Amino acid sequence: MANTYPLSRPIGFLHFFNSALLCFPVACFSLTVLTDIAYWRTSNLLWLHFSEWLLLAGLVFGAIALLVLLVNWLITRARPPWMATLCGIVVLLLATINSFVHTADGWTAVVPWGLAFSLLTVVAMLVTAWFGREGVRHV
Amino acid sequence: MSEIKTCTGVFLAGSMLAVAGCSEDFDVSQQYGPDPVLPAPSSSLLPDLKVAEVVGWQEGQTPTVPDGLVVTAYARDLANPRTVHTLPNGDVLVVQSKAPPGKPLERPKDIIRGWIMAMAAGSGGDEKETNLITLLRDTNRDGTVDERSDLLTGLTSPFGVAWHDGTLYVAAADAVLAYPYELGQTSVEAEPAILTPLPGGPINHHWTKDLALSPDGRFLFASVGSNSNAGERGMEAEKGRAAIWQIDRTTGAAKVFASGLRNPNGLNFHPQTGMLWTVVNERDELGPNLVPDYMTSVKENGFYGWPWSYYGHHVDERVHPPRPDLVENAISPDYALTSHVAALGLAFTNDSAMPEAYRNGAFVGNRGSWNRNHFNGYKVIYVPFVDGMPSGMPEDVVTGFLDGDKARGRPVGLAIDGTGALLIADDAGNTVWRVAAADGSVTPEPIGTDRITTTVTETPPPGGGIAPAPTETLEPTQTDTPATEPSTPAEAPTEPPQTNVAPAVSPEDGQ
């Protein structure tokens, strides 16, 4: 049962679970760009708080997804697509740094570095998706 | 980056990320006095952080004082003593309290902040009931307490107290309460009247409300700290806050006396000049050497910058939208006390029984830093005064609150006791310390913390003090007009208008 296509269909539940988990960071980190822009345009701190919680939620689910991927690898010996995995880790690191940038009290939490990191995180997600496209459905 | 060498190390461990900004080279003493050196704000990913774990005082341990002074424990086994206040008959009130619970969680950061503050307060272990006021009586004036009784219990996080004319005023976290109380009483049965509601919960970030009585006995002055570090809860949350309120003692009518003071405490009138003084905790998270806490005389209608600026025109970029119109009018405070020392207590020493070297100035209680890699504060300093203004470098007087990286105690409120010695409320060490002249000198008679000069030297302040400028609205909740004589309107609208910098609002309106 040598799997040349890593993480392909037969793996079943874990695979599905992981795909579901990965939706969260994708959605959260993308929305962070929008909430950051909203704060930049309005100075309304509500949007900064949205960004902070979105980053946290994305990180928590992203970390669980990474853990599941690792368990999957250990159980099934199905090597994950390494470039995509590596990029995924970069996404999480960027989002972690971004979380800390967003802890500043007010404007400097977003302008300019928070928003820059939010955009960079989305770019890193696109790169991850690119590397993950071949033979696998998820990022 | 001239004189400050800032090294930044980044450690990545799992999802934990720590950034250490070190600036050991910075000479802290440059930040004492009227013109402190203010480095450029530094933005590290994580705030500089070093919290002293509270270990308490072992048997026989005391703080350290220089030659010529002796230190003794005036009262032990208290429950978070925050302030000490001497009544005109020499009785000492110890106000014990802790932060009111139920602060809403708004940001992921608030969780972590909660842990840090709990550690700094040493909330582990003792479950002793706090939020009470204890009366200590030294009947024979020998510097030891002979009688001790709990005067008031079950209060809402009290901090400031004042007494005048048969009434004890207590500043709880949400209102100034008035209790009928004659000097000498050791218990209070009567229910309090609410003299004036103050901005309270549910956030009540800087909750300590200090009190001082004006030298003519007519007004109370109450400090109301900000609801945030630098306005990050929005300006709606700051109505009536970061300010000192002036309250008519008989009617409760109130107005904001001065604003832009982030977290003012230690309200005291200077015995010679009659000026109101306060110590103020300035903002965090701009680096280990910003922003210096300070002591300052408080001008009526003065605006001191918070949150938009510090030390006059140094703009805080975190506060948006910027308000150059307000910054333009921001007053720079009188005397910086270096950064993050958490100055909370102030006591003038004029006419005390302290040695001559300490008899014209002020003691300042510095509870100690958390937002620095190196501890600052954790001691009581003496600032010499000349002609009613601070002059020269301060001297460390009471030290030894730190034991390596651990805290035995943390000094907060200060007062001169009925014998003329210094009292220090040590909230983490649950002790009140007494620092006296080693030769045992005492004052001929007790002097209360709030000194009343019976002969009113001046006519009441312009506009009767309490009257708002024509363009402003007086706080709507107060009891009608002051019972005192109608006042003439202030001569000119104050600049910046109170409605901009600290719109007063009652707790009911704010919730």
Is the peptide bond prior to A112 cis by the omega test (within 30 degrees of 0)? Answer: yes
* A83 phi, psi to nearest 5 deg: -65, -40
Q: What is the mean pLDDT of residues B121-135?
A: 79
pLDDT band at B124 (very low <50, low <70, confident <90, very high): low
Q: Which residue has the higher pLDDT, A11 or B234?
A: B234
CA torsion sign for B483, B485, B489, B494 is negative
CA distance linking residue B132 with residue A31, whole number of Å: 49
Q: What is the pLDDT of residues B325-359, one digit of tens each?
A: 999 999 999 999 999 999 999 999 999 999 999 99
CA distance linking residue B449 with residue B268, whole number of Å: 8
Q: What is the pLDDT of residues B190-226, one digit of tens each?
A: 999 999 999 998 999 999 999 999 999 999 999 999 9
Q: For chain B, say whether A63 makes contact (Cβ under 8 Å).
A: yes
Alpha carbon separation from B4 to B46, B75, B120, B284 (Å, rounded): 19, 44, 28, 18
| Average pLDDT score over chain B | 86
Location of structure tokens 């345009």: A41
What integer pLDDT is reported at residue B195 of this predicted model?
A: 96
Location of structure tokens 């997600």: A125
What integer pLDDT is reported at residue B499 of this predicted model?
A: 57
Residue type at B187?
Answer: S
Residue B42 reports pLDDT greater than 60? yes
CA distance linking residue B362 with residue B348, whole number of Å: 4
Nearest CA in chain A to B237: A45
Residues for chain B: how many in total? Answer: 511
Helical segments of B82-134, H only:
108-121
Residue of B320, B323, B371 to mutate, testing the A interface (most A Cβ within 10 Å of its Cβ):
B320
Q: pTM score, two decimals? A: 0.86
Query: Do residues A110 and A51 make contact, with C-beta atoms less than 8 angstroms apart?
Result: yes
Q: For chain A, say whether B444 makes contact (Cβ under 8 Å).
A: no
Nearest CA in chain B to A55: B108
Q: Which residue has the higher pLDDT, B130 or B113?
A: B130
Contact A108 B318 (CB under 8 A): yes
pLDDT band at B310 (very low <50, low <70, confident <90, very high): very high
CA distance linking residue A137 with residue A64, whole number of Å: 19
What integer pLDDT is reported at residue B126 of this predicted model?
A: 57
CA distance linking residue B168 with residue B164, whole number of Å: 7
What spatial distance separates the first Cα and last Cα of chain B, rounded to whole Å? 46
Q: What is the pLDDT of residues B276-299, one digit of tens each?
A: 999 999 999 999 999 999 999 999
The stretches in chain A having pLDDT less than 50 are 1-3, 7-10, 137-139
Q: What are the structure tokens assigned to B491, written together? A: 């001569």
Angle at B244 between CA B251 and CA B470, to 5 degrees: 65
Contact B15 A49 (CB under 8 A): no
Tell me which long-range contacts B391-397 makes (C-beta under 8 A, separation of at least 24).
Answer: B393/B29, B393/B32, B393/B33, B394/B32, B394/B337, B394/B364, B397/B65, B397/B66, B397/B69, B397/B358, B397/B363, B397/B435
CA distance linking residue B171 with residue B199, whole number of Å: 11
pLDDT band at B117 (very low <50, low <70, confident <90, very high): confident
